[in-house]
Each structure stands twice: as C-alpha cells, then as structure tokens.
Structure 1
C-alpha cells in the first residue's frame, strides 16, 4: 500500500476535515520493512511541524466522558453502571471497549477511515506482536525477559475483558459481539500504537471542562499517572529507530498535538517518531521488533527482598519508588556499555547495572554491623562510593559482587537450559526471537569478567598468608584500594599465619583438631572446611583474642593490621550487644558447640596460655563473641586450596573478611564488652 492508496487518502481527507494534517513535504508510503511510514518529499528544515493531530480525532477513554468538544463520543453511550464502575480505577478498560465499539460500528464510526487502516481482528498476526505469535514461535522466547510480560499481558487482558463484559447490561446492543478476541485486538492496538496521556493531553482541557469538579480531579489524576493511553490517528504511523530527533508539543489553545524535527531531514529519508528510551525487551514485547546493536540490549534482574530488607532499603535516601509502577520497585537491569565514558561514580565494575540494584543487594546481604551503618547513614550509597573498600562496607561489597556473579551465571544457565531443545528457526518471528535470546546471553556474559577480576584478586591475595601464591604482590592499579584496606582469609591460610607467629600454640591446637576429628597430621583443610568451617573459624578467632589478651602490647606491635581489626570487632560487638540481646548467645548448633567447647577447654591447658586462666563465665563470653564474629564477618567464596589433598583446586568455603582500616592503637570504650576485656589481665 502506498500514499495513493484508496485507504490512505480518505484517512488524510478525514483528518484534514477535523484538524489533523501532514506537512506539505511529508508523505505516507509503504516501506518493505517498517510498513506504513512517513517520508520526506523534499529537504525538511529543523523545527518543522511534521504532523499536527487535532484532539478531535484522538480516540481514548476520554471520548466516553463527554468532557469537551475535543473529546466527543460520536457513539451510543455505554451503560452508566459500566462507566461508573470502571472509571475510577480502570479507565483503560473503558477505552479498549470503546475501540471495540467503533470497530463494530463499521462505516458508521466517526473513526472508520482510521480503524480500517489498522491491522484487523481477523488477521491479528499482522500486528507482529509476540502476544499473537503461535506457540512454535513463542518457544524461542522461553527463559528470556520477554516471556513473563507476554504471559502477563494475556492474563491481564482476559481478566480485564471478563470484568468489563460482566458490567455490560444484557440488553446492551450487540453485547455478544464484544468478544475476548476483539478485546485482545483492541488492547493490542492501544499497546502498540498509543501515546501516554500525561505527555499528550493538556490538563487545561480537563480543568476547564463542564464536568463536575470531582470528575475533573480523578480524570486529571488518571492523566498524570498514565492510567489510560491515547490513539492519535495519522500521528501513530511514525516508526521508531531508537534515535530521539523529534519533539512533541501540545497546545490547549488550538487543540492540537504536534510532532516536529530537531534536525534537517534529507529528501527521500524516512521520518521517525521516538517511542522513548526503550530496551529491546520492551520493544519486542510491545511492538514486535528489536533494533540492531547492543546499546538497547538489557537483561532484567529481579530481586525479592524480605519485608525487613524492604524497610531498610526504603530508609535510604537513594531509594526511589515509582508509585505508578510499584511492582517495578525491585526490578533492575544489566546492559552492555557502548562507550568509554563512566556512567556512575562508584567502582567502574558496577556501571553496567541499573541504579539501585547494588544498594538493594547490599541491604539484603548486610550483617548486623553493616545494617547499623546503613541505618545511621541513610544518605550513603554503596554503588556510588569509589572508596567502598576503605569503609565499614568493604565485606558487604565483596559479598554483593560474589552473589551478583552467581546470579548472572544462573541467568545464563536458565536461558540456555530453556532453549536446549530449540530447533533451527523457520519463521521470521523465530529468527527475531533467537537473535534476541542470544543477545540476552551476551549481555550477561559481558557483565561477568569485570566482577570476576575483583573477586579473583580478593580471593587470591593476602598479606597474612604465608603461601607464595597468596602473598605475591598485586600490581593492578584498580585493585590497590582493595588490597590496601581489606583482606580475605581462608582457614588454611589463617592457621598458616598462626603457625608462623605462634608455632608452639598452633601445633598444640592442630593436635587437638586432629584428635577431635580423627584426622591425621598435617591437617587437610579441604576436608575440614566442607562441614566444619564455622566451628574452626570460631576456634581461630577465640585463639587470636586469647593471644591478644595474653600480651596486648606485644600483639599490637607485631600485628598492626590485625590489631586494627581486633579493635573494630570489639567496638562492633559492643554496639551489637546494646541493640540485639541474642548477640551474647553462642552462635552454633549443638554439634558445633560440642567441638567448640572441647577446643576451648583444651586451649586453656596449652602451656603458653596456661599462665592466663579464665573463669568459666569469661571463657563462655569469649567463646560466644568468637562465634558471633565467625557468623557475621565471613562470606562464601570459591577459593584455591593451598595445601592438602586438593591443593591447587578451587573449593567453596567461607572466608573471613579482615578490614585493615581503623585505629592502630586501642581507643578507650565504655561498652559492656570492652569493659569486660579491660578487666582481663595477663
């Protein structure tokens, strides 16, 4: 169909009669790819009004409100009960039924010249929308971001139709013709061709109407919150290429909505509208196409925080909720960056992720100490902090990166698994879906390496470790801040550090572990970390504090960085005790408690420590403290074993996060825990 078509010319004639028109140098033509389109007949200078659409020709819910001369019904009214029941919360349903009515009116409809140019209900595949694709084509979208919203649309439209049809009186003319199929068609037309009411309708046309004040108020609210959309005949022919080179303007004095160009349009070029900064997922679901290049390729990442986490996240000033889309509060995305410019102020590895994702994950993974920090500092934003490794959230950001890496890998696996049985594409829909599917995987794969680089560095280096592979200098500039301020220790390395500085004590402790676990010496930590990592982290922390208490000045002089962490943990435990009564309890199950108690009792008999006996109550308090730190300050990691039967292999285990930021000397505190420690003398 071209501009001389017997259908296009009557549309333009009807539009002209009612104030809707094209600029003289704009034509409508049939493009082999985009279908009906606008094209420049001559060079068109900037700021030309390419299309002018009169509000008299628009079609929407407003035409059922008898609001003003601009929004007339030209049709038999719907029953009052139907309109009154839906107009408060579901004006969009009224708009969909109104379009069905106009279709059923045929040549009697005021909008007939417009409606007959639309894809027709008897050929819904002409819409090109995935919601109308056959199942064989939809299979190619399984597991992708496009699958859930397509299913949601189908379910939503069916529920809307049932709600609307139940309100139409049985004696309403042609009620039986308002089928679900026609409702789907009408909803598809609105979903793929309409404009947002908030950007289209001037509020003055509502507030200055003859309607009641109450009706005007809720209609204005509907417009502001985009609870319905508006069809703009002729204007909606413009296609989308993802480049915003147009301006929209609305004029209540003339009753027109216009489309203008920002730059010169050369003769013969297609003239594009701009649907918004939409991702390829949004374009595919709503319009049935995707654009080339990776700029618009995004993958959604939904989080499901607990109610407690939601409360914490909402306390942060960086959190923004779109009350028009509350279900999107914890929906985020990842994308490929197409330029070298920074897109955030935090560490660059986070630039690919949409705002709020990392901050929400931070709240979800925060321990007690980190939650207190976030509550005390509501303006703090983890994802915007370039020095995140040098503050109290250093453990948290590493934990976030680890879980984020796992989530990205899971999403890749899920998409690939859902497509394992796909055959070679046979239709254009299948080719489009397969390209979209592959690009979703590409986005996820691209996001992983920058995160992995940080994690691999964090897990593979420690100045505390005595193993050559862990103590080699890290020279990459971007990782200097990480290693200068925080380190992660495995049990293997932690006991190696103990052995270097306190060989006699460590030998005795290793012998105790060997006896308790019935394992030979030297200890094979690859076996022990599988089930006993929390137990022996508790033992290690208990032992470190015993060594510190036994000779504080010597310990603080020899182990400056570790002493900073000791002071920080003491302060943190004081804060925890003041806000959480259960912090004073033992954090271990019954099996772990039996082993922990065995170790604690026998550590007291080690010759180097026997000169400093603790009362039973003091022993239990120190034990409980160690178990609390062991549960709070570790994080799961895939770390290379340094010794034992699986030396060189990567094993999942818990690493202790040691921050080297803080005071190099003790600070006088007045909390119950630090007061207790001060009472202990060697």
Structure 2
C-alpha cells in the first residue's frame, strides 16, 4: 500500500485509520464488512469547522488546540498521499479525515498485556519440543536443558511485563463503540489474555429497557467536543481553562465547578478574588459570543451548547469562591 516509510511519526489512531481505509476499499480481506456498514457515512467534529465557526466557542485555548489538530492531520494526509502506492487512487483528504475521526471517536485503548494465551502456549510447546530434541540428539543432561528452558520462560515473562508497561493496545470494538457516554457511570474495557477477548464491565446498574451508558474517561466538554463531536450536559468532569492575573502573579489553569483551581503554568500565587474576576470576565465573553450566528445551523447550535456548559461551570465556581470569601 505504501512505496516508502512516512517521514512523520505516525500515531496509533492514524495507523488504525489507514487500516480502516484499506479494508473499506477492498485492499484487505473483507473480514469486517458488517461492521464497516455500521460506521457513519459522515462525521463533523470541530477539526472540519471554519475559523469563524470556531470563534463561536469563545475559548481561545480550545480554538488553538483544534487548529493545531487541523495542522497535524493535514501533515499526516500529505505524508500518507506521498507514500501511497495502492492499486487504486489514494483516498482524498475528506475520506482520510473521515477515517481519523472514526478511529479517534470510537477506539478504546489500555495497557498492552503481551501475546494472547494461544500464542504463549504455542511458544511454550515449541520450547519444550526443542528442549527434548536437544537432550536426545545432543546428549545434554536433562537438568541443563530444564535450566535453559526455565531461563527462556522467565526471560519471555519478564519481557512481557516490561513491554506491557510501555505499550498500549488500541482497538475498534464493534458493538461496544456504539454505546453512548455518560460521566455519571463507571466502566472499564480490558483485554483478557486467557480468553483472547475484550471485556466491558460497569459499576452502574441498568433496568431492562433502559439505555446503557459507558464512560469514555474523565473527559471535559473540551475533549468531548473536539474528538467526539458532542457536548454533555451536567458533565461531572467539566473544567474551564482560565488565565488569571493577581498583581504581578500570573497563572493558567483549570477551574472546576467547586471553585478548585488546577494550576498548569504561571508564576506566583493567585487569590480567590482574582479567580472570581477572571471567571466573570470569561463569562461575559461567552455571553457576548452567543449574539453571533456565523456558520451552519448544526454547528452554531453545538457551539451554543458548549458555551452554556462553560457558563454553568463558571457560575458554580464563582458561587463557591464567593462563599469561601465570606
């Protein structure tokens, strides 16, 4: 499919996106045809928005993250198209971005557990066979062969342990990736080595006929909008990025609805009153942006939902800070 390696480091989601395109175009055996039919024909995350539509978010740090994503994905497409040598023409940029959005919004990841149990058993059987053959033909003492086999097994075990700490699996899971997100439930998706399968568990209970939700992680609406294309109302993990000035002190960080401030960068200490003032200023900016309506109706509405949740978070945070000041 490619004439030469890409000069860019390729993230996991991009590799998965290329495999998705290859199977969709028939360049790989059609083992997941039914799943491919379930994927949405179009996706519309903010990476496709115009600059004027991004302005509706009224959040410069968020807008810059999306623009940076846009540049990175454009570079990935350039590298992809230059290295492509498939039997059919290379997918256009719109199709390539569709694949990246699909993977970025649907894939799960977790610690890499090493090879599946079937591969481990096959390796063990091969090791035992070689050891037995070595004892018979080379006339090596059985004890020496056993010591060598144990050493090899321990090496493989330690290698798997060390490898799993550094690598992660990244997978599209049909069915599971169709379940909607809620920050009010707890869930986990894990790969089970002995079953060579993925397992979804949740600490929440659901009644028959009730919609099931899972958690996509501790995601604020910034991440949910940027990569998944939606905004969650009453998001437990909502935060507002805030630039705060307090005299000569400056700080950038995340303000939570309880008034907590998680500092990211800056110098010096900032007080609660400075946080209130910065919060009020940002709230006024978000309200002002609501008077604009440049863009498609769907994107304008989604940006309005995003601003409303940021305003809700700010109002809760300001109220909490004012109570602490009394």
TM-score under structure 2 normalisation?
0.70
Counterpart of 2:184 (choices 212, 220, 243) is: 243
Report the RMSD for the aligned CA atoms in angstroms.
4.0
Superposed counterparts of 1:525-564, under 5 Å: none
SS at match of 2:56: helix
TM-score by length of 1: 0.36
Question: 1:443: Cα distance to partner?
Answer: 2.7
- Tell me, yes or no, if structure 1 residue 203 matches structure 2 residue 203: no
- TM-superposed deviation, 1:275: 0.9
- Count of aligned pairs: 285
SS in 2 for 1:257: strand
Aligned to 2:261, what secondary structure does the other structure show? coil
- Displacement of 1:242 after TM fit? 2.0
Cα distance, 1:402 vs structure 2: 5.4
Kept in 2: contact 1:93–1:164 (CA 8 A): no
Query: Residues 260 and 444 from structure 1, CA distance in 2 versus in 1: closer, same or farther, beyond 3 angstroms?
Result: closer
Q: 1:425 & 1:177 partners in 2: Cα distance?
A: 30
Shift of 1:334: 1.0
Q: 1:173 maps to what in 2?
A: 87
The equivalent position to 1:94 in structure 2, one of 15, 28, 33, is 15
Q: Would the aligned equivalents of 2:55 and 2:63 in 1 still touch at CA under 8 Å?
A: no
Answer whether contact 1:106 1:112 (CA < 8 A) is retained.
no
Shift in Å, 1:261: 4.0
Residue from 183, 187, 194 that aligns with 2:100? 187
Contact 1:197 1:224 in 2 (8 A): no
Q: Which has the higher contact order (CA 8 A, sep 6+)?
A: 2
Residue 305 of structure 2, aligned match among 435, 444, 462: 435
Which whole-Å CA distance do the structure 2 matches of 1:140 and 1:408 have between them?
A: 18
Q: 1:604-643: CA deviations, max 9, x gaps? A: xxxxxxxxxxxxxxxxxxxxxxxxxxxxxxxxxxxxxxxx
Give the direction of change, closer, same or farther, for the CA distance of 1:404–1:247 in structure 2 (3 Å limit).
closer
CA 91–442 in structure 1, closer or farther in 2 if over 3 Å, else same:
closer
Structure 2 unaligned runs (5+)? 124-154
Question: What does 1:656-671 align with in structure 2 at a 5 Å threshold?
Answer: none
Shift of the alpha carbon at 1:179?
2.2
Aligned to 1:273: 214
Q: Deviations over 1:288-317 (max 9, x none)?
A: 2222226343212369xxxxx9xxxxxxxx
**1:352 paired residue among 248, 260, 266:** 260
Q: 1:269 to 1:156 in 2, by over 3 A?
A: same
Deviation at 1:267, TM superposition (A): 1.4
Per-residue Cα deviation, 1:188-247 (whole angstroms, up to 9, x for no partner)? 00111000143xx4224499598xx9xxx89x8698465x73211222111112222434
Structure 2 CA distance for partners of 1:335 and 1:78, relative to 1, 3 Å: same
List per-residue Cα deviations over 1:63-89 (Å, max 9, x = no partner).
xxxxxxxxxxxxxx655x427x66x76
| Structure 1: 5+ residue stretches without partners | 1-76, 304-308, 310-329, 338-350, 366-396, 456-475, 477-682
Rg larger in structure: 1
Q: 1:426: Cα distance to partner?
A: 7.7
1:152 pairs, out of 68, 79, 100, with: 68
- 2:179 touches 2:214 (CA, 8 Å); kept in 1? yes
